[in-house]
């Protein structure tokens, strides 16, 4: 069942398809995405929070018509949550039904019945092996622990998982896989070696203006330019949490909601909460007088 992943004609064709969903990828990212599809290699996206890692995977699925499947990683994520689990309540009901029917099955037959595929709950990694075409997003893999990385590596290497009671379940068409990391820790070399690596940087000002305008058509070119320029100046300071694209978009949305057409310093100051999330950062930005020039175009 299912069909092969549709391969775009070129990185540029993929970038154009992504742009139609509102996601703007530069050449490097479009090439990484293209190669991931073409070579069947997972792409490992690393970068600061808010630079567009998660939304790249979502946009890739939308642009190619593939099913998006997401696994959000966290500390303590286990195989039962990532791969598969047995549907215990349904297994119990089945046992009861057998009893009620007065069937005297021998234990071995009964056990085989209980470990039937229909009682298996496919968690994201297993679901990705049995859905095609699909984009599997393993999000924030740096938050999971070593044990989980080992499952992931095995699943990515073989495009299969082994369920002890059932045997091996292999993908007919392996998923296009995107792994992301905010780099709160280094992910193991073994996992990285399997992947194409791409560092996703903050966009330059021109690209950021284009992204803001793509996401918020209501924002004027002038305001988008002022927001991108002020955000870029903030990133040059040594902040605890430098604003990402997400924050630039939020800021522009807040300004549009206030009916602003121009980023006057007082308004910039009043709306800082859309961009900065730490009191220390707000103070640093004020002290550096970044907002005095907020009304300037880039
Ligand atoms: N290149 C881009 N094109 C369009 N939107 C973007 C781009 N980069 C980021 N965004 C937007 O910024 C926000 C944050 O992106 P996200 O993917 O959640 O970042 P990350 O996963 O890196 O933390 C999302 O709303 C996303 O749509
Ligand atoms: Mg993310």
How much is the pTM?
0.91
Task: Assess contact for 62 and 249: CB atoms under 8 A.
Answer: no
pLDDT at 295 over 80: no
How many domains, the chain?
3
Same domain for 261 and 165, yes or no, is no
pLDDT at 7 over 70: yes
Whether 175 is in the pocket of ligand 1, judged by its Cβ within 6 Å, is: no
Whether 11 is in the pocket of ligand 1, judged by its Cβ within 6 Å, is: no
140-157: pLDDT as tens digits: 999 999 889 988 998 999
Expressed in percent and rounded to 5, the helix, strand and coil fractions of the chain are 50, 15, 35
**Residue whose CA is closest, atom 4 of ligand 1?**
23
Q: How far away, in angstroms, is 47 Cα from ligand 1 center?
A: 11
182-195: pLDDT as tens digits: 999 999 999 999 99
Q: What is the DSSP letter of 156?
A: H
Nearest to 47 by CA among 183, 177, 140, 179: 183
Q: What is the DSSP letter of 164?
A: T
Same domain for 74 and 129, yes or no, is yes
> How many degrees, rounded to 5, is the angle at CA 9 between CA 4 and CA 14?
90
Give dist(CA 85, CA 121) in Å, integer.
5
Phi-psi region of 65 (alpha: psi -120 to 50; beta: other; left: phi over 0): left
pLDDT confidence of residue 103: 78
Nearest ligand, measured from the Cα of 49: 1
Taking residue 263's Cβ as centre, other Cβ atoms within 10 Å add up to 26
pLDDT confidence of residue 158: 92
Confidence of residue 138 (pLDDT cuts 50, 70, 90): very high
Whether 45 is in the pocket of ligand 1, judged by its Cβ within 6 Å, is: no
Q: How far away, in angstroms, is 221 Cα from ligand 2 center?
A: 27
83-99: pLDDT as tens digits: 999 999 999 999 999 88
Confidence of residue 2 (pLDDT cuts 50, 70, 90): confident
Same domain for 68 and 174, yes or no, is yes
Q: How far away, in angstroms, is 43 Cα from ligand 2 center?
A: 15
Range of the domain at 110: 84-118
Same domain for 128 and 110, yes or no, is no
Confidence of residue 26 (pLDDT cuts 50, 70, 90): very high
56-115: pLDDT as tens digits: 999 999 999 999 999 999 999 988 899 999 999 999 999 999 888 887 778 888 888 899
Nearest ligand, measured from the Cα of 70: 2
Same domain for 155 and 23, yes or no, is yes
Same domain for 20 and 158, yes or no, is yes
Q: Considering the domain boundaries, does residue 37 fall inside one? A: yes
Same domain for 40 and 91, yes or no, is no
Same domain for 190 and 276, yes or no, is no
**Residue whose CA is closest, atom 10 of ligand 1?**
52
Same domain for 114 and 237, yes or no, is no
The dihedrals phi and psi of 253, each to the nearest 5 degrees, come to: -65, -40
196-235: pLDDT as tens digits: 999 999 999 999 999 999 999 999 999 999 999 999 999 9
pLDDT at 297 over 70: no
Same domain for 242 and 189, yes or no, is no
Confidence of residue 291 (pLDDT cuts 50, 70, 90): confident
Nearest to 240 by CA among 198, 275, 201: 275
Max Cα–Cα distance, the chain, nearest Å = 83
Task: Assess contact for 277 and 241: CB atoms under 8 A.
Answer: yes
- Tally the C-alpha atoms within 13 A of residue 238's C-alpha that lie toward its C-beta: 0
pLDDT confidence of residue 1: 60
156-180: pLDDT as tens digits: 999 999 898 899 999 999 999 999 9
Same domain for 105 and 15, yes or no, is no
pLDDT confidence of residue 293: 76
- Say which CATH number the domain at 165 has: 3.40.50.300
pLDDT confidence of residue 110: 87
Same domain for 152 and 210, yes or no, is no
- Tally the C-alpha atoms within 13 A of residue 148's C-alpha that lie toward its C-beta: 23
Helical (H) or strand (E) element with 179: strand 176-181
Average pLDDT over every residue of 33-47: 96
């Amino acid at each position: 069942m299912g069909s092969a992943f549709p391969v775009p004609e070129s990185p540029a064709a993929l970038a154009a398809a992504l742009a139609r969903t509102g996601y703007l990828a530069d050449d490097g990212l479009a090439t990484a995405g293209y190669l991931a599809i073409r070579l069947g290699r997972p792409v490992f996206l690393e970068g600061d929070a808010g630079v567009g890692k998660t939304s790249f995977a979502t946009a890739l699925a939308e642009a190619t018509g593939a099913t998006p499947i997401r696994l959000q990683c966290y500390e303590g994520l286990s195989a039962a949550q990532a791969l598969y689990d047995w549907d215990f309540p349904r297994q119990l009901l089945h046992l009861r039904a057998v009893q009620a029917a007065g069937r005297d099955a021998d234990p071995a037959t009964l056990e085989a019945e209980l470990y039937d595929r229909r009682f298996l709950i496919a968690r994201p990694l297993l679901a990705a092996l049995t859905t095609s075409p699909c984009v599997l997003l393993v999000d924030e893999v740096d938050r999971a622990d070593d044990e989980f990385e080992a499952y992931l590596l095995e699943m990515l290497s073989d495009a299969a998982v082994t369920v002890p009671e059932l045997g091996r379940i292999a993908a007919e068409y392996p998923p296009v896989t995107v792994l992301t990391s905010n780099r709160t820790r280094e992910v193991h070399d073994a996992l990285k070696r399997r992947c194409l690596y791409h560092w996703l940087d903050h966009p330059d000002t021109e690209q950021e203006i284009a992204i803001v305008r793509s996401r918020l058509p209501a924002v004027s070119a002038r305001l988008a330019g002022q927001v991108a320029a002020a955000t870029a100046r903030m990133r040059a300071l040594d902040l605890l949490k430098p604003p990402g694209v997400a924050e630039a978009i939020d800021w522009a949305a807040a300004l549009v909601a206030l009916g602003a057409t121009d980023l006057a310093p007082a308004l910039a100051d009043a709306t800082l909460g859309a961009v900065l999330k730490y009191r220390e950062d707000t103070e640093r930005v004020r002290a550096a007088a970044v907002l005095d020039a907020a009304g300037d175009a880039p």
